[in-house]
Amino acid sequence: DIVMTQSPLSLPVTPGEPASFSCRSNQSLLHSSGYNYLDWYLQKPGQSPQLLIYLGSTRASGVPDRFSGSGSGTDFTLKISRVDAEDVGVYFCMQALQTPFTFGPGTKVDIK
Amino acid sequence: QLQLQESGPGLVKPSETLSLTCTVSSGSISSGDYYWGWIRQPPGKGLEWIGTRSNSGSTYYNPSLKSRLTISVDTSKNQFSLRLTSVTAADTAVYFCARHRRDWGNYFDSWGQGTLVTVSS
């Protein structure tokens, strides 16, 4: 199975300020199509996860453009250009290259 | 907007079978080349992909659960289901159903609210 790691595990943020966090895999997630098979999900408190980013950098429908995904191969980053109070929760990355799909442990984001 | 809702017993005894159903509304489960999946989250822990099934019958199961797992689709009821046999306390989790898109990459773009299943005698 592909092992996913994330850092930091906890991130206090200030509204209006940028934030970024990392996701790494122990195998390359670059598909033969040229796309990286890496998704980002946000699980807000008490809610189910919601899709933010797929294919490493494609924003899902309705996701604000302050969220951006980047990276390739084994190293990926999710950036929030200006944190909003509604962005608190746990951010999970998931490798979507091969089954079993596996998730990282999550980065918990809360307001300072 | 597509909506998914899990249903089923909240308490299952050890060694028995866990059965959950996901009802899809505001959309047809048989339209498009969609897949339908299950993901679970033990209390206070991370996410684990359980498995996925397509309308046409293709299935993909997590090898760690494969021997105990069945995912089925009932297009007449617009539902899909999960059946996990011989459960133990380790199967205690919130179970989410989700639509699995495979057009570009693999991603879960619509999720149910989740249902907590506790395995205990």
Question: How do residues B56-98 score in pLDDT, each as one tens digit?
Answer: 889 999 999 999 999 999 999 999 999 999 999 999 999 999 9
Structure confidence at residue B55 (pLDDT): 82
Query: Within the 59-118 window of chain B, which residues sit less than 8 Å (CB to CB) from chain A?
Result: 60-64, 96, 101, 104-109, 111-114
CB B29 within 8 A of CB B22: no
Q: Do B46 and A60 touch (CB under 8 A)?
A: no
Span B111-120, average pLDDT? 98
pLDDT in tens, A27-80: 999 999 999 999 999 999 999 999 999 999 999 999 999 999 999 999 999 999
Share the mean pLDDT of chain A: 97
Q: Is the dihedral of CA A78, A37, B3, B92 positive or negative?
A: negative
Q: What pLDDT score was predicted for residue A91? A: 98
- Per-residue pLDDT tens digits for B30-57: 887 789 999 999 999 999 999 999 988 8
A87 inside 8 A of chain B by CB: no
Cβ atoms A71, A78 nearer than 8 A: no
Report A:5-44 residues touching B (Cβ under 8 A). 31, 35, 37, 39, 41
- pLDDT, residue B104, reads 87
Which DSSP symbol is given to A101?
A: P
Chain A interface includes B1 (CB < 8 A): no
In chain A, whose CA is at the least distance from the CA of B40? A48
Between the CA of residue A34 and those of A31, A88, B11, what are the distances in Å? 6, 32, 45
pLDDT band at A108 (very low <50, low <70, confident <90, very high): very high
B96/A94 touch (CB, cutoff 8 Å), yes or no = no
